[in-house]
Structure 1
Amino acid sequence: MSSPSSLPGAPGAASSSGAEAPVTPSAATAVPSTDEGHPHRRLRSFVRRAGRTTTGQSKAFEQWGPQFLLPFREARLDVDAAFGRHAPTVLEIGFGMGEATAHIARVRPDDNFLCCEVHEPGVGALLKRIGEQDIRNIRICAHDAVEVLQHMIAPQSLAGIHIFFPDPWHKKRHHKRRLIQPPFVRQLVEHLAPGGYLHCATDWQPYAEQMLQVLRAEPLLANTSGSPEGWAPKPDYRPLTKFENRGLRLGHGVWDLVFRRA
């Protein structure tokens, strides 16, 4: 088994608003930007983040990596072969340290979870959880989710997409780097099967409001929320992480949005 540092795309780091429940910004096309010095920067599914892989995480790469890590390829993924079964497949973009991912996979054993994350310690941590908790319905691609979506995922093939706590890019001049933007949402929707859902969550209200605006403007999506504000109740399958519980104790809000493809 190759070392963590030799994994495709591994030396990156998914960013998020907190250590326990990250998800990354990920626009699935080469969207031009006008950032100074980077006239053709494209939005990615991650930003670089420091972190050390522990001994336990390194052992998890060696022990569980061959079974649960999928190499990135510029070719369609045979999902049934990758999971060893035919089942609805949910794509998760950025999972941080994998706490929520492991929980969701356990409470939804009949679904497949294809999870993208480039932060080595996070990948190692989820592999460790997979081994310790005997979770069999997760596969990890340690690569930029933008390219995974473009090359490996067939159109209209996903039952759902999870994007939890993406980096909010607080400064106004950085808003262009946010994940949830119209071109990327359109690409996400094109990979959802009819009736498939997109579930986003954030703890940053201005970003939540932007997400809601963008998702409402996508003609192929319908909001599942019946509330006038448009926010969805937290689905039972999404757990409260330690980071999120800490924020709630401090009075911070969390906003869920669940939209479904027509």
Structure 2
Amino acid sequence: MIKSNEILYTVKKGNEARYRRIKSFVMRAGRMTKGQQNGLEQGTPLFVLPLANSPVDYDQIFGRLAQRSLEIGFGMGQSLLKMAASAPEQDFIGVEVYRPGVGALLNGILTQGLTNLRVYNCDAIEVLNRCIVDNSLDHLMLFFPDPWHKSRHYKRRIVQASFAELVRTKLKVNGILHMATDWKPYAEYMLKVMDIAPGYHNLAESGRCVPRPVDRPITRFECRGERLGHKIWDFKFEKLT
């Protein structure tokens, strides 16, 4: 079945046409540190969730009813760990395909003794489609996604009209989509997509970007970008309907 929120291309095998989704990420191999490997070995049974075939009851998983935020592509997990540690009354879900990053996050969860964070090590679009109940998330965060610089690769950018609509279905009314990038052309592209996405309100007074929110921790990646002279753009869009 072809879902409306999927970007598709056709692959021919013999006389049969098959459809595959164009993914916004490339699977990267990476060397594991001892801490990352330890995180995977000890943390996976406790904190990594399987990709389900039906919506998941996160109230049962976390053992409570609380505000819930999901971060797509948490990288090495520094910002997600900081957010979860600073807001123990809230629950957090992280999605990342890069296994060393997942291992680093799990090692951090174990080291800090956090209980309000769960992880998916798979494609975020699959998680949204298959696991997240409609109208259930308070926040969805997308920080510094791959900008796919070349114009022929724009179709691989995760921020598309279909992505905006999928996220809107998963957010509660008044829920927030928070995005950040240090790549100006991608910032302009994000704004172009979101300006015409139905059911959202841009929280920036200027109609462009918001001041850097204090609740978004600064990461090593962001510090590196600033050292290189990159400006940071933050966008917050509220779901209206």
Residue identity in the other structure for 1:224: L
Which runs of structure 1 show a deviation greater than 4 angstroms over 4 or more consecutive aligned residues? none
Alignment match of 2:28 (pick from 49, 54, 58): 49
Q: Deviations over 1:113-165 (max 9, x none)?
A: 11111111011000001111122111001111111111111111110100011
Q: Is the 8 A contact 2:25 2:156 kept in 1?
A: no
Measured after TM superposition, the shift of residue 180 of structure 1 is 0.5
CA–CA separation in structure 1 for the residues paired with 2:91 and 2:112: 16
CA–CA separation in structure 1 for the residues paired with 2:159 and 2:218: 22
- Change beyond 3 A, Cα 1:45–1:175: closer
CA–CA separation in structure 1 for the residues paired with 2:19 and 2:151: 19
1:257 aligns with 2:235: yes
Tell me the SS of whatever aligns to 2:8. coil
Q: Is the 8 A contact 2:71 2:141 kept in 1?
A: yes
Tell me the SS of whatever aligns to 1:256. strand
CA–CA separation in structure 2 for the residues paired with 1:30 and 1:214: 16
1:122 aligns with 2:101: yes
TM-score (norm 2): 0.91
CA–CA separation in structure 1 for the residues paired with 2:44 and 2:104: 11
1:246 aligns with 2:217: no
1:138 aligns with 2:117: yes
CA–CA separation in structure 1 for the residues paired with 2:103 and 2:116: 17
CA–CA separation in structure 2 for the residues paired with 1:250 and 1:61: 33
C-alpha RMSD over aligned residues: 2.1
Q: Is the 8 A contact 2:79 2:216 kept in 1?
A: yes
Q: 1:187 corresponds to which residue? A: 166
Q: Deviations over 1:19-70 (max 9, x none)?
A: xxxxxxxx993312479x9984413353111212222212222222221111
CA–CA separation in structure 2 for the residues paired with 1:115 and 1:52: 21
CA–CA separation in structure 1 for the residues paired with 2:4 and 2:52: 16
% identical equivalent positions: 45
CA–CA separation in structure 2 for the residues paired with 1:39 and 1:175: 22
Measured after TM superposition, the shift of residue 90 of structure 1 is 0.9
CA–CA separation in structure 2 for the residues paired with 1:43 and 1:207: 18
Q: Is the 8 A contact 1:28 1:44 kept in 2?
A: no
Alignment match of 1:222 (pick from 181, 194, 201): 201
Alignment of 1:91-102 (within 5 A): 91-102=70-81
Q: Is the 8 A contact 2:48 2:121 kept in 1?
A: yes
TM-score (norm 1): 0.84
Alignment of 1:1-262 (within 5 A): 29-33=5-9, 40-228=19-207, 230-262=208-240
Q: Deviations over 1:213-240 (max 9, x none)?
A: 1111112000111025x11111111111
Measured after TM superposition, the shift of residue 89 of structure 1 is 1.1
- Change beyond 3 A, Cα 1:45–1:152: farther
Residue identity in the other structure for 1:170: H
- Runs of at least 5 residues in structure 1 that lack an aligned partner in the other structure: 1-26
Larger RCO (alpha carbons 8 Å, 6+ apart): 1
Tell me the SS of whatever aligns to 1:197. strand
Q: Is the 8 A contact 1:28 1:149 kept in 2?
A: no
Higher strand content, 1 or 2: 2
